[in-house]
């Protein structure tokens, strides 16, 4: 924990002990990513009495995490394929000669529309209480 204020605490990820003692540091993507990812303290509300330096376990509602993961990962892929198939069908129906190009353009259009929808949806869902992390217990 990096800070405590009333019923809120700021926590950071504990450093991985395995990444510093491993002989494969140069070829390991985890060690490489850890160098480039900045530590961002996460604000978490809690009813527990905690102090600076305490180690805690935090969690997020599993159902909300799974449904949002499906939204983020699965929907763009499905939208890409469905949009490409629809564009291909329209190109064939109207007898366009470059139906492959229209299929690619249609797929990419649907993909980017889906990404825009996900961005708007994630801005709304970030305010939902079930997506906020909570302190489960001291570790």
Q: Tell me: the pLDDT tens digits for 102-123?
A: 999 999 999 999 999 999 888 8
Residue 37 has pLDDT above 60, yes or no: no
pLDDT for res 83: 97
3-state secondary structure of 111: helix
pLDDT for res 109: 97
Residue 18 has pLDDT above 60, yes or no: no
Residue 31 has pLDDT above 80, yes or no: no
**What value does the CA radius of gyration of the chain take, rounded to a whole number of Å?**
22
In sequence order, which residues have a C-beta less than 8 Å from that of residue 105 and are 6 or more positions away? 87
pLDDT tens per residue across span 39-80: 678 888 888 888 888 888 888 889 988 988 888 899 999 999
Residue 87 has pLDDT above 90, yes or no: yes
Q: Which is it for the CA torsion 58, 60, 62, 68, positive or negative? A: negative
């Amino acid at each position: 924990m990096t800070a405590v204020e009333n019923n809120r605490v700021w926590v950071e990820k504990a450093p991985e002990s395995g990444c510093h003692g491993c002989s494969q540091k140069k070829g390991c993507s985890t060690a490489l990513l850890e160098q480039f990812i900045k530590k961002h303290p996460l604000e978490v509300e809690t009813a527990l009495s905690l102090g600076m330096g305490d180690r805690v376990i935090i969690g997020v509602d599993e159902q909300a995490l799974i449904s949002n993961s499906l939204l983020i990962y699965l929907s763009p892929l499905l939208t890409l394929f469905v949009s490409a198939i629809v564009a291909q069908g329209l190109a064939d129906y109207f007898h366009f000669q470059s139906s492959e190009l229209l299929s690619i353009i249609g797929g990419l259009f649907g993909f980017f529309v889906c990404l825009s929808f996900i961005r708007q949806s994630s801005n709304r869902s970030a305010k939902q209480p079930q997506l906020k992390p909570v302190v489960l217990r001291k570790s």
